[in-house]
Amino acid sequence: MEIEDKKEIDQINSFIQSYQPQVIGLSANSHQYFYAIEIAKKIKSQFDIPVFLGGVHSTIRPEEAVEEDSFDGICVGEAEDSLLELVNRIEQKKDYTDINNFWFKRKDQVIKNNIAPLLIDLDQLPFPDYSIFKYFKEADGGEISPRFIFSRGCPFNCTYCCNHVFKKIYSGQGQYLRFMSVDRAVEQIRDFKKEYNFKHFKIDDDTFSLNKDWVLEFCDKYSKEFDMSFECNVRIGAVDEETLIAFKKAGCNLIKVGLETGNQDLRKEVLGRSISDQEVVELFNLAKKVGIKTFSFNMIGIPGETKETIQETINLNAKIKPDFMQVTAFYPYPETLLGQMCIEQGLITKGHIDCYMDESVLELPDLSSSQIKKEVRNFTYNVYKQYDRKKAAKEKMRQIKGFIISTPFLYKISRPIYRLIKKI
Ligand code: B12
Ligand code: SF4
């Protein structure tokens, strides 16, 4: 991948020149990994500063990341303490190649340090310093919608998700699923509210509804102090009516739910999610009854997918009528069970892709990657078509507009035509 936007790398360079850091850290998931390499290479070509990589990709693929020369070291796993140790040692000009969680390549040798035990008491973590992000600085005084995370981990083992991979990496290193205390969570919101002006926030926990007692206590304490709305992720089967009522009272106005596929067998056998269609319908009905908006996450192009199973996903969405939908092409994340299965079955025909929304890297026996892309693009329209012609028409217009904007020739001729139509 090439950094196309020269402005972006110029910005990075001028920031480095003015800030004069002694160390640079990059964080990347698997989609961002190649971009991180490009950025590291550009930095290394101009500055003599050590660059480290951390985040999801170096955690699940350390053997690959450590071989990359543009990184001076890579980090495996959660690293609040280890990163602090690293920067302290760099500041003191001491050797840092024995620090937990870090891997280094020195000459032909790879130094693999141990993973430190997981931090169990999340209350010990300082609050994130959002002020370092330009976005928050600029938004200050205006309106922002911050994201909070109050727990780490997930007890489920969906085959396409990285959680079972993280669990394996951390096995024997302490309890994987951890929650900060409710008081600390509320304090974090309070602390942030002192600095920034916001009326709505997002809770990004993998599955916020997991611990019912925690959630009920949170809703109670939060609503006594704040009058702001929020949205969160919930898992079907891990949320009940009492919790949804408490959510509503506390200000939750949107729950986001992973539906993934409308075919029950694929959901269970391929994705590892033992959730019935009945449970899906019940949860969406319940949310409607309680007065909370809904959002469904869907994937197209999972192994075993056919035109018929896509139609089932469309039908199930048309039945539950979510207020918002997201559909993406399934991506086989490295080291996940489903990712491995795709490799074993020879389904992966493309390497890295830049677009993680509608591009598929798979060729399935019953669906080509271009068919998957087409189905992803038409999904929302196909759902609305079944019950709301106005929304379907709006979605079609959005698609046409997107197509024109992404086709330079059409975009060029569309503007004079548009002006002409407006005059008439
Ligand atoms: C919040 C979240 C989001 C938010 C991001 C909000 C934001 N502005 O950052 C939203 C909803 C937008 C999002 C979108 C997507 N996400 Co997401 N997301 C998460 C989630 C739930 C939590 C991530 C997080 O912030 N954790 C808290 C931080 C503190 O933890 P951390 O990132 O692991 O960082 C620790 C260590 O990794 C390390 N570390 C991290 N960086 C660095 C850097 C250095 C230098 C060092 C030393 C250490 C270090 O230290 C940190 C503290 O311990 C994870 C699930 C998870 N359990 O991780 C998925 C996850 C990261 N997302 C994932 C995916 C697939 C996506 C999407 C592609 C989904 C989609 N198709 O739309 C998009 C891609 C977005 C993009 N730009 O690339 C995958 C990534 C899989 C992979 N192999 O890359 C994950 C792992 C979930 C999964 N399915 O398995 N996501
Ligand atoms: S419930 Fe969600 S976060 Fe948990 S393993 Fe499944 S997909 Fe991942």
pLDDT digits (tens, 9 = 90+) for 333-383: 999 999 999 999 999 998 877 778 899 999 999 999 999 999 999 999 999
What does pLDDT average to over the chain?
A: 93
Atom of ligand 2 nearest to the CA of 155: 4
Assess whether pLDDT exceeds 60 at residue 239: yes
377 touches ligand 2 (CB under 6 Å): no
pLDDT tens for 122-131 read 999 999 988 7
CA atoms within 13 A on the CB side of 58: 30
Residue type, 146: P
Nearest CA to ligand 1 atom 53: 78
Ligand 2 center from residue 162 Cα (angstroms): 8
Q: What pTM was estimated for this model as a whole? A: 0.94
**Can you give the pLDDT at residue 352?**
76
Ligand 2 center from residue 121 Cα (angstroms): 22
- Largest Cα span, the chain: 74
Q: Where are the beta strands (DSSP E) in 282-345?
A: 293-300, 324-329
What is the dotted CATH code of the domain comprising 122-388? 3.20.20.70
Mean pLDDT of 124-143: 76
Do 383 and 315 form a contact (C-beta atoms < 8 A)? no
Mean pLDDT of 79-87: 97
Ligand 1 center from residue 401 Cα (angstroms): 31
**Can you give the pLDDT at residue 2?**
52
156 touches ligand 2 (CB under 6 Å): yes
Residue type, 420: L
Ligand 1 center from residue 408 Cα (angstroms): 33
Nearest CA to ligand 1 atom 91: 204
**Can you give the pLDDT at residue 3?**
56
Ligand 1 center from residue 262 Cα (angstroms): 26
> What residues does each domain of the chain span?
6-112, 122-388, 389-424
What CA–CA distances, in Å, run from 113 to 82, 116, 271?
11, 9, 33
Mean pLDDT of 111-139: 87
Nearest CA to ligand 2 atom 2: 206
Mean pLDDT of 388-401: 93
| Residue 108's pLDDT band (cuts 50, 70, 90) | confident
**Can you give the pLDDT at residue 1?**
45
What is the dotted CATH code of the domain comprising 6-112? 3.40.50.280
Assess whether pLDDT exceeds 60 at residue 206: yes
Do 37 and 5 form a contact (C-beta atoms < 8 A)? no
For the CA of 165, the nearest ligand: 1
Ligand 1 center from residue 410 Cα (angstroms): 36
Do 10 and 36 form a contact (C-beta atoms < 8 A)? no
Dist CA 51 CA 41 (whole Å): 9
CA angle 303, 58, 8 (to 5 degrees): 100
297 touches ligand 2 (CB under 6 Å): no
H-helix or E-strand containing 93?
none
Pocket of ligand 1 (CB under 6 A): 25-27, 29-32, 52, 54-57, 59-60, 75, 78-80, 83, 147, 149, 161-162, 204, 206, 328, 333, 356
Dist CA 48 CA 22 (whole Å): 9
Assess whether pLDDT exceeds 90 at residue 141: no
Among 159, 204, 335, which is best to mutate for testing ligand 1, by the most ligand atoms less than 8 A from CB? Answer: 204
Ligand 1 center from residue 162 Cα (angstroms): 10
**Residue 306 backbone zone (phi > 0: left; psi -120 to 50: alpha; other: beta):** beta
Ligand 2 center from residue 289 Cα (angstroms): 26
Assess whether pLDDT exceeds 90 at residue 197: no
Q: Which residues of 148-165 are buried (b: 16+ CB within 10 A; e: fewer)?
A: bbbbbbbebebbbbbbbb
**Can you give the pLDDT at residue 403?**
83
Comparison of pLDDT for 378 and 1, the residue scoring more: 378
**Can you give the pLDDT at residue 201?**
95
Q: Where are the beta strands (DSSP E) in 359-417?
A: none
Residues 6+ apart with CB under 8 A from 283: 234, 236, 239, 257
Residues 6+ apart with CB under 8 A from 185: 148, 150, 218
| Residue 140's pLDDT band (cuts 50, 70, 90) | low
Assess whether pLDDT exceeds 90 at residue 321: yes
